[in-house]
């Protein structure tokens, strides 16, 4: 049960196409931190889609937070998704909701009463430096601000597993380091984190073990 992620011969292909992920084997315990690196097209985004339950594995076994995904009924997945935070390259914010409401969305889906969530969302927006932009729609925010909203939305529920795809791509150096402080704090509190990045400098400044993807195959490396 302490294994947050367990991949056992896991593979993925879309439709009848060639496999994009092959024979993945990985065990990540609670509180692990990994950089996910690899060239473009290696399958990083597909692996993150697999781990955010956007797709189910085509082969092998996948266990997340103790739940065997290949056998889990569809109705069991929403509760699991609420324990997984994700930051996407394209942010995936709801364009008709304000920054506040985008960040509050996971709490509302979890059934948190309105009166209780406001303080948490306000605090989170303050932390990512957007307390003055709570009412702004995504279209009124810069790329960096949208990315910070996406990050705030991913971590507001203190997920057991956090997956981030190039989360610093639109942030300046100071903001990126501030984000890494937040991720470190979450990691220290027990959240398992995988961050996909091309940013070699960021990896160098925050050393951790790496997962390398090449041609759909995964290798785990040292820090």
Give the interface with another protein as residue ranges (CB under 8 A).
52-56, 74-75, 77-82, 86, 92-98, 100-101, 105-106, 108-110, 114, 118, 122, 131, 134-135, 153
Are residues 98 and 139 in contact, defined by beta-carbon separation less than 8 angstroms?
A: no
Are residues 8 and 60 in contact, defined by beta-carbon separation less than 8 angstroms?
A: yes
Least distance from another protein to the Cβ atom of residue 125, Å: 9
Least distance from another protein to the Cβ atom of residue 17, Å: 17
Are residues 161 and 65 in contact, defined by beta-carbon separation less than 8 angstroms?
A: yes
Least distance from another protein to the Cβ atom of residue 41, Å: 23
Least distance from another protein to the Cβ atom of residue 115, Å: 9
Answer positive or negative: Cα dihedral of 201, 141, 196, 161. Answer: positive
C-alpha Rg value of the chain to the nearest Å: 17
Q: Where are the beta strands (DSSP E) in 41-102?
A: 59-64, 67-68, 84-87
Tell me whether residue 123 or residue 185 sits nearer to another protein (CB atom): 123
Least distance from another protein to the Cβ atom of residue 78, Å: 5
Q: Helix, strand or coil for residue 153?
A: helix
Tell me whether residue 54 or residue 223 sits nearer to another protein (CB atom): 54
Residues 200 and 16: their CA atoms lie apart, in Å, by 35
C-alpha 220 chain-centroid distance: 19
Tell me whether residue 1 or residue 75 sits nearer to another protein (CB atom): 75
Residue 184, token pair as written in the block: 């470190």
Say what angle helices 99-109 and 114-127 make with each other, to 10 degrees.
Answer: 130
Tell me whether residue 17 or residue 115 sits nearer to another protein (CB atom): 115
Tell me whether residue 32 or residue 125 sits nearer to another protein (CB atom): 125
Least distance from another protein to the Cβ atom of residue 11, Å: 16
Tell me whether residue 68 or residue 79 sits nearer to another protein (CB atom): 79
């Amino acid at each position: 049960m302490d294994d947050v992620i367990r991949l056992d011969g896991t593979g993925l292909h879309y439709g009848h196409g060639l496999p994009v992920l092959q024979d993945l084997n990985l065990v990540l315990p609670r509180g692990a931190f990994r950089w996910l690196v690899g060239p473009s097209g290696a399958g990083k985004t597909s692996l993150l889609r697999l781990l955010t339950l956007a797709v189910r594995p085509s082969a092998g076994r996948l266990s997340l937070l103790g739940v065997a995904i290949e056998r889990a009924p569809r109705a069991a997945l929403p509760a699991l998704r609420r324990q997984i935070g994700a930051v996407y390259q394209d942010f995936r914010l709801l364009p008709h909701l304000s920054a506040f409401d985008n960040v509050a969305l996971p709490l509302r889906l979890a059934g948190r009463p309105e009166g209780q969530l406001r303080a948490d969302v306000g605090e989170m927006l303050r932390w990512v430096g957007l307390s003055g932009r709570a009412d702004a729609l995504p279209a009124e925010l810069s790329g960096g601000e949208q990315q910070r909203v996406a990050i705030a939305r991913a971590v507001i529920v203190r997920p057991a597993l956090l997956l981030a795809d190039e989360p610093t791509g639109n942030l300046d150096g100071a903001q990126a380091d501030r984000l890494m402080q937040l991720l470190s704090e979450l990691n220290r509190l027990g959240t398992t984190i995988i961050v996909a990045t091309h940013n070699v400098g960021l990896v160098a400044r925050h050393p951790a073990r790496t997962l390398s993807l090449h041609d759909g195959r995964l290798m785990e490396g040292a820090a």
